[in-house]
C-alpha cells in the first residue's frame, strides 16, 4: 500500500511538471536532456490519463462524502441516546416515588424501584450533559465533521 502511494505521488508530480511544461511557449521549452524529451513526449499522455482518472473517481468521492455525512448524523443521534434514557428513567422514577412509602421499617417495592431508577437517572443525566453538545453539533453541521474525519483519515494514511 505504501509503494502504491509513493508511485501515485510520483505520477502526480510528473504530471504536474509535465503539465507546466505543456503550458510554456515553444520558445521557452528547452529539450537538452533525454529526460526532458521523454517528459515532452509523454507529458500530455500522463496529464490526460490523470484527468480521466480524476473524472472516474469524482462520483466515488461524492458518494463517499455523502456516506460520511450520514455517518455523522447517525453519530449525533447515538449521542442523544443518554438523553432518551434519562427521560424514560426520570419519568419511571417519579412515578414510583409517588407510590413509595419510605417509613422506617416498611419499605414497599416502589421505594426500592424509585431508588434504582433514581441512580440510573443520575448516571444518564451525567452522560447526557457530557454528550449533548456533541450530539447537537453533529446534527447541525454533519458536513463539517465529515470533512474533519476525512482530513484526519488522510493524515493517518500519509504517516
pLDDT 10s digits, 16-36: 544 444 444 444 445 456 766
Residue 48: pLDDT above 90?
no
Per-residue pLDDT tens for 93-119? 998 888 877 776 667 788 888 889 999
Domain count, the chain: 1
Q: How far is CA 88 from CA 38, 47, 76, 93, in A?
A: 72, 60, 19, 9
| Predicted local confidence at residue 32, as pLDDT | 54
> pLDDT at position 2, please?
46
pLDDT reading at 15 higher than 60? no
Tell me: pLDDT of 157 over 50.
yes
Residue 119 structural domain: 2-158
Amino acid at each position: 500500500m505504501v509503494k502504491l502511494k509513493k508511485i501515485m505521488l510520483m505520477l502526480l508530480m510528473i504530471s504536474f511538471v509535465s503539465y507546466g511544461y505543456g503550458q510554456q511557449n515553444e520558445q521557452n521549452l528547452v529539450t537538452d536532456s533525454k529526460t526532458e524529451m521523454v517528459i515532452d513526449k509523454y507529458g500530455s499522455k500522463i496529464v490526460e490519463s490523470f484527468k480521466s482518472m480524476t473524472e472516474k473517481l469524482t462520483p466515488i468521492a461524492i458518494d463517499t462524502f455523502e456516506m460520511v455525512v450520514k455517518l455523522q448524523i447517525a453519530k449525533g443521534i447515538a449521542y442523544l441516546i443518554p438523553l432518551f434514557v434519562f427521560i424514560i428513567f426520570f419519568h419511571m422514577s417519579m412515578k414510583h416515588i409517588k407510590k413509595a412509602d419510605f417509613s422506617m421499617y416498611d419499605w414497599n417495592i416502589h421505594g426500592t424501584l424509585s431508588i434504582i431508577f433514581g441512580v440510573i437517572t443520575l448516571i444518564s443525566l451525567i452522560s447526557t450533559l457530557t454528550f449533548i453538545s456533541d450530539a447537537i453539533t453533529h446534527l447541525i453541521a454533519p458536513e463539517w465533521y465529515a470533512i474533519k474525519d476525512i482530513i484526519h483519515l488522510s493524515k493517518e494514511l500519509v504517516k
